[in-house]
Structure formats: structure tokens, C-alpha cells
Amino acid sequence: MQGYWTAMRTEAAFRQEFVIGLFLFGLSFYLPFSLAVRLLLNSLWLLLLAAELFNTAIEAVVDLVTPEWHALAKRAKDMAACAVLLVLTALFACWTFALLHYLEFDLDAFVHYFHR
């Protein structure tokens, strides 16, 4: 739990993702999603928080090992940040498709309109 409280105190990105995720968690139970969709959306949120914690940990270790700029340090930090971006993209895509399905948006007609 110490890691959680440290992240909440020191990491703005973690706090933002946590608060937005709590809102989306509540919204997932308000909307008539299936259990599988709720599980997917909320698991991706927790995966995003875990990726953010790993990103923060990697940045801290890299800064401890080499405070000056180094190509390998940059690569490690960039890859950890990319992992966060990938999970965030997956979360956004799943929420988008879940909401489009809930709103009964006809995606086939939308795509067909632009491919005439």
C-alpha cells in the first residue's frame, strides 16, 4: 500500500488516471453493459494504473543509476511511457466501441458512407 500512497502523493498522472477511472467505473455500472464488457473496461483501467506505476518505477531507477543523460536511459523511459500509452489507447478504444454499441451507432453505414 505504500507504493499506492506514494504514487497518489507524488504522481499527477496517476492521480488523474485514478480519478477518471473511478468515474468510468461508476459509469460502467450505470450503463446497461454486459458483465464481460464491464470486466474488460474495468480491468483495462486497473492495467493502466499498473502500467503507470511501472513507468514511474522505471523512471526512478533510471534516475538513480544515471542522473546524466544517456541514450539507454532515454530508451528505457520512452518504452515505459509507450506502455502506458498503449494501455490508454486500448482503454479509449474499448470505451468508444462500448458507447457506440450502447447508442446503437451503425458503424457499417458510417464506413460505407465514406467509401462510396
Render pLDDT for 40-71 as a digit per residue (tens, 0 to 9). Answer: 999 999 999 999 999 999 999 999 999 899 99
Sequence-distant (6+) residues with CB within 8 A of 54 are 80, 83
For residue 44, give its domain range. 2-114
Q: What is the CATH number of the domain that holds 100?
A: 1.10.287.3610
Quote the pLDDT of residue 67. Answer: 86
**Which SS3 state, helix, strand or coil, does residue 31 take?**
coil
Q: Give the distance from CA 90 to its chain's centroid.
A: 7
- Tally the domains of the chain: 1
Tell me what the mean pLDDT of segment 8-13 comes to.
96
Give the pTM. 0.88
Residues tagged active-site: 52
Tell me what the mean pLDDT of segment 62-84 comes to.
95
Inter-residue contact 98 to 41 (CB < 8 Å): yes
Which three cell numbers, joined as nine digits, stand for 53? 506505476
Quote the pLDDT of residue 14. Answer: 97
Quote the pLDDT of residue 105. Answer: 84
Whole-angstrom distance, CA of residue 50 vs CA of residue 55: 9
